[in-house]
Structure 1
Amino acid sequence: MNVRRLTPSPRAVDWGLFAAVGTLLATGVATMFTGTPSTAWVIDLHAIAGVALVCLLPVKLWRVRRRVAPERLTGRRALSVALTLDAAGALVTGVWWVFGGSLDLGPWGLFHLHIALGLLVPPLLLWHLRYRYHSPAEVTRHGRRDALRYAGLVTAGALLWRLQGPVNDLLDTAGADRRYTGSREEGTGEGNRFPVTSWVADDPDPVDAGEWQLTVGGRVERERTYALAELPTGASEDAILDCTSGWYSDHEWRGVRVGALLDAAGADDAGAWVQFRSVTGYRWSLPIEEARDAVLATRVDGERLSHGHGFPLRLVAPGRRGFQWVKWVREVRVDKRREFGEWVAIFVSGL
C-alpha cells in the first residue's frame, strides 16, 4: 500500500495541524463549563481533534526529518522542535489519562500536566507560524482529494475515541470509571473525605463562625443579614461536584435554598443575575432562575462542611463545574447585569 496516497498534501497537513490545535485549545477551555450531558459533545470533539493530531504529527515529522538533523538545526528550527515535543507531551499525557494513568507532582497530577502542556502549544505555534506561514490558498490544488482524506481521518478519529471505552472496560483500568467530562470518581458519599482543591490561589484562614455573617443584598426590597444559626437550613440536594482538576464526587448537600433567601429579601423583578461572593473576593454569578434552585450548603453527607470544603457556606450548583461552586460564601447579591470583573476576580482573588 502506498501510504503517501492516503496522506494529505504537505500544505494540507500544516493547516490540518493548525486546525487540530485550534480545536483542542477551544474545546479544552470549553470543557471547564461542560457540566451537563447535553454538552458532552465538547469532550468528544476535543478527543477527536486529539486523535487527528496523533495521526498528522508523525506525517509532518517524517517530511521535515532532514531539516531538524543536528547539523542543520538553527534557532528557528529548535523552536519548531520544542513545539513538537510540547505537543507530543500534551498528547501522551492526555492518552495516558484516558487509559487510567496517574502521576504524583505534589499538589498537581497528570491531568494538570496535560493542561499545562496543552496551554503552552498555542504561543509556540504562533511563534512558529511567524516564520513558517503559508497561505491556505496553496492547499486548493489538491482540495477535493485532501477533503476526502480529512473526512476519513475525522471518521477514524471518532471511531477510535468510541473504541477507547470498551478497551478500558476490557482492561479494567481506572479510565473505565471516568465520567463523560473525563473526571474520575473520588470520595463519593464519604462526607468531607473528597479532594480539597481551590481555584488558582484561594486559601483563606479558617472562618470564625461566631463573627461570620451572610448578607443578601443588591436589587432587593430589603437587605437581609444572617448569622449562621439564623439560616433556614432545611433544604437538601443530591448533586455531583465535578472538578476541572480531573475528579468528581457525588454527595447529599444540606443547607439553605437560595430561592428562600431571595424571597425573604424581596428580589427585584429587574434582577437577572445572582452573584455569590467569597470571603476571599472570589465570586461567580448564576442566572436568577437557576440560582433559585441552588443550595448554599452547610453540611455534606450529614457532616458539617470542613474549612477546606467551604465552611460555613458553599454554593452547590448542579450541572456546573467545581470552580463555579463558590466556597466560604459571605454575600449573595442580586443584579440586573453580570459583573464583568468577576472574570478577573477568579484569577486574582487568592493573591
Structure 2
Amino acid sequence: MGREGRVRRRAGRRTNVALLVLLVLAFATGWAAFGTGTATPGWIVTVLHGAASLALVLLVPWKSLIVRRSRAFRSASWHAAAGLVLGVLVAVSLLAGVVHVLGGFRSYAGLTPMQVHVGAAMLAVPFAVLHVLRHPQLPRRTDLSRRTLLRALWLGGGAAAAYVAVEGVARGLSLPGQDRRVTGSFEVGSDRPEAMPVTQWALDAVPRVDVATWRLRVGVAGRQVAELDQDALLAMATDEMRAVLDCTGGWYADQRWRGVRLDRLLPASLPPDARSVVVVSVTGYARRLPLRDVPFLLVATHVGDRPLSVGHGAPARLVAPGRRGFWWVKWLDRVVVDTRPWWWQPPFPLQ
C-alpha cells in the first residue's frame, strides 16, 4: 500500500472513531436528558445532545467517501445492507429531532417527532453494535496529536455553530421551538387539565379501575399501616401545590394539584434503616424515590379544580415536583417505605 493509501486509511479510521464517539455521546446524553428535571444540568445535557447530533451531520461527507470506497459496499453484501440500515435509522432520528425542536409538540400520521426520534435511535442500537463488532475502530496513541486536536476543535466549533443556527432559525421565524423548556419539552395545557395529553411510559396502558373496590395501601418495611378507599382519601385531600409535569414525550404542563402530602399518610416515626419509598400503580408500574423526597410528594386526587380523569391517573396519582413525568406514577395501588436505596432499580422503567 502506498503512502497516499495509508494516509487515506488513517483518515477513514479517525472519521469512524469520531462517529462512534459522537453516536455514543448523542445516545448517552439523550437518555440523560430523559432523566433530568429543570436544574442547570438539564440544560447542559440537552445542549450536549443537540451539538453531538449535529456534529454527526457534519461528518456525513467524509463518511460517504469511506462507504463508497469500501469493498463491502461495492459487493452489495449483507454487511453493506446492515450499514445502510444503520445510516438510515440515524438519519431518521436526527431529522425527527430537528423537526421536534423547530415544530413543537404535534403528531404526524399518529406519531410525534419525539417518538420517531427515540424509536429510530433505539432500533439503531443493535445495528451500531453489529457494525462496531464487524469493523472495530479503537483509538490509538498516534491519534493524540496536535492535528487531531485541531480537527476535534473545528468539529466542535462547527457543531456549536450549527446548534446556534438552529436556535436562530427557531427565533428568527418565530417557530414553536423558541419557547421550549430546557428539557426540550413544549407547553401543552397549562392550567387547562382537559388539554393535557394522555400518555404513558412504553407498554403501560390506561387501566379500568373499579373505584368501589379500589384501595390505596400504605406500608412500612413489610407491614401495612393504612388502607384508604376513595372517600377516605378525598376527605384528606386538602393539600395543594403548583408543579410542572414534564413528560419525556416532549410536552409539559404547569398545573395546580390537590391531594394529600405523602408524609401525612406515613407514620411520624419511620425505621432508622428506611431509605426509599416505592410507589406502585395498579398496572404494576413502579418507581422508587429517595426518602428525602417524601415531604415534597403529593398523592393527587385533583388537578385544577377538577377530579383527575382516568387518563390522568384517577383515583390518585403521584406528583413529584422537579422530576420528569415517568416518576409521576398514575393509578396508585400502594406506597411502601423500604430499606433499599432509591437507586436500586433500573434508571428507566422496564414496563
The alignment status of 1:240 with 2:244, answered yes or no, reads yes
* 2:217–2:224 contact (8 Å) kept in structure 1: no
1:261 to 241, 261, 265: 265
Matched residue, 2:171: 169
- Alignment partner of 1:303 is 2:345: no
Which moved further from structure 2: 211-220 or 179-188?
A: 211-220
Change over 3 Å in CA distance of 1:71–1:46 after alignment to 2: closer
Aligned partners of 1:282 and 1:345 also within 8 Å? no
Q: Does the CA contact (< 8 Å) of 2:171 and 2:178 recur in 1? A: yes
1:24-57 Cα distance to aligned partner (Å, 9 max, x none): 1111111221112222211111111111101112
SS at match of 2:103: coil
Secondary structure of the corresponding residue to residue 152 of structure 1: helix
The alignment partner of 1:156 has SS state of helix
Equivalents in 2 of 1:248, 1:93: separation in Å? 19
Partner SS, residue 333 of structure 2:
strand
Letter in 1 for 2:17: W
Post-superposition shift, 1:83?
Answer: 1.5
Match in the other structure for 1:11: 13
Per the alignment, residue 320 of structure 2 pairs with 317
Following the alignment from structure 2 to structure 1, what is the Cα–Cα distance between the partners of residues 206 and 299? Answer: 19
Residue-by-residue CA offset, 1:267-288 (whole Å, 9 max, x unaligned): 2232110111111111111111
Question: 1:104 matched to which residue of 2?
Answer: 108
1:24-173 equivalences in 2 (<5 Å):
24-39=26-41, 40-67=43-70, 72-100=75-103, 102-106=106-110, 108-137=111-140, 140=142, 143-173=145-175
May I ask how many residue pairs the two structures share in their alignment? Answer: 339
SS of the residue corresponding to residue 64 of structure 1 reads: helix
Q: 2:221 aligns with which of 219, 222, 230?
A: 219
| Residue 239 of structure 1: how far off its partner (Å) | 0.7
In the alignment, structure 1 residue 291 sits paired with structure 2 residue 294: yes
Kindly provide the amino acid, as one letter, of the partner of residue 245 in structure 1: G
Instruction: Give 1:206 deviation, angstroms.
Output: 3.0
Retained in 2: the 8 A contact 1:252–1:300? yes
Find the counterpart in structure 2 of residue 3 from structure 1: none
CA distance in 2, matches of 1:328, 1:234: 19
Shift of residue 110 of structure 1? Answer: 1.4
**CA distance, structure 1, for counterparts of residue 73 and residue 60 of structure 2:** 20
Q: Contact 2:207–2:283 at 8 Å: present in 1 too?
A: no
8 A Cα contact 1:35 1:320, kept in partner: yes
Is the aligned partner of 1:327 residue 2:326?
Answer: no
Distance 2:152 2:237 in 1: 56
1:347 is paired with a residue whose SS is coil
Alpha-carbon separation, structure 2, partners of 1:53 and 1:313: 44
- The whole-number CA distance in structure 1 between the counterparts of 2:73 and 2:40 is 49
> Quick one: distance in 2 between partners of 1:13 and 1:53?
10
1:250 is matched with which residue? Answer: 254
Distance 1:284 1:134, change over 3 A: closer
Give the Cα–Cα distance (whole angstroms) in 2 for the partners of residues 32 and 16 of structure 1: 24
RMSD of aligned residue pairs (Cα, Å): 2.5
Q: Distance in 1 between matches of 2:224 and 2:134?
A: 61
In structure 2, what is the equivalent of residue 282 of structure 1? 285
2:311 match: secondary structure? helix
Gaps of 5+ in 2: 1-9
Contact kept, 8 Å, 2:206 with 2:311, in 1: the verdict is: no
Q: What does residue 210 of structure 1 align with? A: 212
**How many percent of aligned residue pairs carry the same amino acid?**
36
Structure 1 position 156, deviation (Å): 2.7
Paired residue secondary structure (1:274) = strand
Kept after mapping to 2: 8 A contact 1:168/1:175 = yes
CA shift digits 1:49-101 (9 cap, x unpaired): 11110111221113332448986322212222222122111111111221116
The separation in 1 between residues aligned to 2:274 and 2:14, in whole angstroms, is 50
**Structure 2 counterpart of 1:15, one-letter code:** V
SS at match of 1:254: strand
Match of 1:178 in 2: 180
Q: Is contact 2:279–2:332 with CA below 8 Å preserved after alignment? A: yes
Q: Deviations over 1:98-149 (max 9, x none)?
A: 111654242x321101111111222212211222223422x71672201111
TM-superposed deviation, 1:246: 1.0
Normalising by structure 2, we get a TM-score of 0.89
Give the AA of the match of 1:92: L
2:252 match: secondary structure? strand
In structure 2, what is the Cα distance between the partners aligned to 1:159 and 1:208? 55
Cα contact 1:100–1:176 (8 A) shared by 2: no
CA contact (8 A) 1:273 1:335 kept: yes
- Could you tell me how far apart the structure 2 residues matched to 1:246 and 1:22 are? 22
